[in-house]
Structure 1
Amino acid sequence: MVSSNYMNNNINLPKKGVTWRSTNKLVKVMNDSFYDLPCPVNLNAWWSFGSMLGLSLVIQLISGLLLSIHYTAHESMAFDSVVHIMRNVEKGWMLRNAHANGSSMFFICIYAHIGRGLYYGSYMDKTVWFFGVHLFLLTMAEAFLGYTLPWGQMSYWGATVITNMLSVIPVVGEGMLRYVWGGWTVCNSTLKRFYTLHFLLPFVMVAFVFLHLFFLHEKGSNNPLGIDSSTMCIPFHPFYTVKDLFGYVCFMFFFMYLVCVDPELLGNHLNYWPADPMKTPIHVQPEWYFMFAYAILRSIPHKAGGVYVMFLSIAVLYLIPSLHSGKYRSLCFYPFNQLVFWVLVASLISLTWIGARPVRAPYIILGQLLSVIYFSSLLLNPPSLWLWDKLVEYPELYVSRPVDLKWLKCLFIFKLLKLLGLKKGARKWADKCVKA
């Protein structure tokens, strides 16, 4: 998939002879995509989260298919079928815990993957980035559908609250809501439809994964410096297979801890009660990986406004490539913007914590404040890169001037005047400093 010029110009790639990997057409595609794939020489551990996402997807597909053998999608039997899996099926408890906690591991990896893309400017490859955001939205939909299937108390009321958001869509909202429910409330028809979609959607996700990888390998990976690395590449194997294997070991260590030691660490105990339409829980909340969006939703007092802002908190990722204004892709060259990025991470974690708190003071005002910080740091960071470029740009007219502390002070005022649009004043000031 990678162009021949891209592969041939790499001085670090081994000269390949005629091997079975290069003669068999099917194997050659896999070989060029994974084994002999040219990769930048300076990729760090954050790039391993992409491979971990692939491992998570495989775990979810296999465990989900095995669980579907024993699960019954009926409102009077769904909860009991999950109990049957946990108690009576051979290793059923492990299978169910693996699938439930596998979704948490999936989201841990996907958030790290998106964060790496934002920090190192991977979003500048727009096609790859957009397919990645599509996958993120599909993953969120798949996780929501799966959360409703145990038909526990939190599953039922979570489905009721989330599907009710469709009612804010003008004109067609109420009709769409009734169609999704298959009745006048969440019922057996809703469960069957959600189960069908939950079973089929992973195959759509697999297709999007292949498209994501196809466009990624067509141009080659980004790197921590965000610069062209076409002449400084190494083959994926053995250099990055070793790194990914180490990542898999770390992944499996934490994953098996969740499965075998503390399976309810990231879960909700209310989902061990059967669904009761006549008894609303005091605090209806989604899984932890949706908490940041839920906190933003409830920070807006207007129902429709809260729903729109919540979806905007995710859809805003589509705008990031268009907002980039710096000379360089990576934040490695922008110290101030690195700080803003970590403010974004802190606000996301804080919103996740706020989402699990009761809807009362001071959590309401904290949620509103953190929502503003989240959107500000996410939307203002890429457009503000040009400010740093302007600050560090050295004037060509004064290249021969020796740099000392006095000149740095003059240069600071010179840059400030230029940013304010006073070009003539900046030039006069610099000339005055040179003569002094």
Structure 2
Amino acid sequence: MKIILHPARAVTLAFMAAIAAGTALLMLPAASAAGTSAPLLVAFFTSVSAVCVTGLVTVDTGTYWSTFGQATIMLLFQLGGFGIMTAATLLGLMVNRSPRLRAKLITQTETHSLGLGDVASIARVVLVVTLLSQAAIAAVLALRLHFAYRLDWLEAGWSGLFHAVSAFNNAGFSIHGDGLVRYASDALILSPIMLAIVVGGIGFPVLHDMRQRLREPRRWSLHTKLTLTGTLVLLLGGFCAALLFEWDNPRTLGPFDMADKLVNGMFISVSARTAGFNAIDIGALSHESWALHYFLMFIGGGSGGTAGGVKVGTVAVLVLLVLAETKGHSDTEAFGRRVGAASQRQAITVLALGSLVVVLGTLALLRLTDFPTDQVIFEVISAFGTVGLSTGITAQLPASGQVVLALLMFFGRVGTITLATSLILGARRMPYRYPEEHPIVG
């Protein structure tokens, strides 16, 4: 008897399979620079972080892993960002131009596409945008590294490719032990990386919609308008707040000149929304900046992209719902459109489940470690939001604490809704409805 998996469960299992395969590859002696087999926990944690495009690490990527190990990590976060099921459907498109309905359903679950008819188009956009963006950014970085930093072409090309793929997938992995701190005063390095982060994290449904109606922004879907507006607000708000909190901090932006402060302020805002790169020491940030990161990391990027978090669209719908309720409006509206009740319920569910996961993760780490609460909260939200930024305590966590972070990364990447629906194979329409009442709220 043929067993049919629910698309959401298939996505979950595919990510688990990728993590298992990555762990096995990273445990090979050829994967470590020392030529010995990496410990199981190190390989497992790194594999989870790569597949879940997070970037949290317990060992230095550039020195601990060999070129083969680094290439394996890059392949893992490419698969994670690209989407296991999206990749599978693209392979099907190459063989058969009309993928089966089941493959479409699975891809729709992974890409959060707006309709079954859009799946094939979005899958093609995913492929084209991914390859072209990564190739262009890699070329720019390689040229800059070769001519400005005197790296030979092979080293410059590998570094450029690794960081371009990592940036586009919002993975945050770097082969430099200090992240991107050495490039803090180089806008020609930080700017292409920021561009890759934004394009990869805005969401493929948005890119698809913009491509289809490039000259008709009025016809863009409500999802596209909310995502673009929310992204702009968060980027500018994060930029201004980062400058306000860190302008005179002698351990972060203080020593920079005006231009470098502006570039690094924007880099903080961009990277905090799930990219995970750092051009300054995260542990040296003020407590206000850590609080800013809590907010930005938890929200994340756009649905259907490489970013994590509860997503910009989710928060946008909730803001609209609150505004409508405070104004006494019966409908939640934006840009001349009414937000459906199902989307409102889903937004509330995503926020509630995400908040619950963060609270439980924080309590678990506080129980297992003696680190300050603010550092623990930062680490937990960074893992759940698949950000990868750290105050420096990841490698110091006990094995049990690292397993907790691994679980948080998995929850954050697979998504609270996808994970929940993978356990509940299908909603049933009940043949009856109970009488309606209105409990007192507030």
TM-score normalized with structure 1 length: 0.26
State which structure, 1 or 2, has the greater radius of gyration over its C-alpha atoms: 1
Give the structure, 1 or 2, with the largest relative contact order (CA under 8 Å, sep 6 or more): 1
